[in-house]
Amino acid sequence: MADPSPGIEGAAVAALLAASGALVGLTTRSLAGIGPEITLPQFRTLVVLAARGPQRAADIAAELGVAPSAGTRMCDRLAAKGLVQRTRSTSDRRVVRLRLSTAGTGLVDRVFRQRREALSRIVAATATHWCPEAVAALTAFAAAAGEMPERQWCHGWLVAQENAPRQRDGRAPTAPEASTT
């Protein structure tokens, strides 16, 4: 293994490598036992759909950095598990878009809730190390990596849940259904 880069950049890379390993482990644990078996790439697909709305399989593949055929196979598996649904465009019947099903939205919501709870415990345990600069650095890092803050895409779910009509049993649906186009 090569020596890490010197200076603050090298220390930041080393810290981020360690933190990313912890975050992957946290996500993996959050996925365990929540229903159908989901891999990390499949979960990432669900998050892309949650964040960006209905997408073509080719768009999802490009976002994930995989071949279009691999993206299509992954979406096929998610559709077979009932986590995504395919819809045809009303303006061009050749265009098929994928969107989260209610079950897929619920799964993403449960995983993020579990992750948030676990992260809250970790942050509380390391509270003396957090400062506005650390938060700003992590926010900038996520933005530079192209990650959309959860609050920007999940807010629509929360508002829709508050305003959604109740089911027969009095529960609100887990999330709104996305547009079919």
Report the CATH number at residue 46: 1.10.10.10
Structural domain for 43, as ranges:
34-130
Which pLDDT score is estimated for 129? Answer: 93
Nearest to 51 by CA among 126, 148, 159: 148
Let me know if residue 99 belongs to a domain.
yes
The model carries a pTM of 0.71
Any idea which residue has 């010197």 for tokens?
Answer: 6
Rounded Cα distance between 74 and 63, Å, is: 13
Residues 6+ apart with CB under 8 A from 103: 35, 82, 83
Residue 119 maps to a domain = yes
pLDDT in tens, 93-113: 788 899 999 999 999 999 999
Q: Is residue 108 part of a domain?
A: yes
User: What is the domain count for the chain?
Assistant: 1
Instruction: Please indicate whether residue 155 or residue 133 has the higher confidence score (pLDDT).
Output: 133
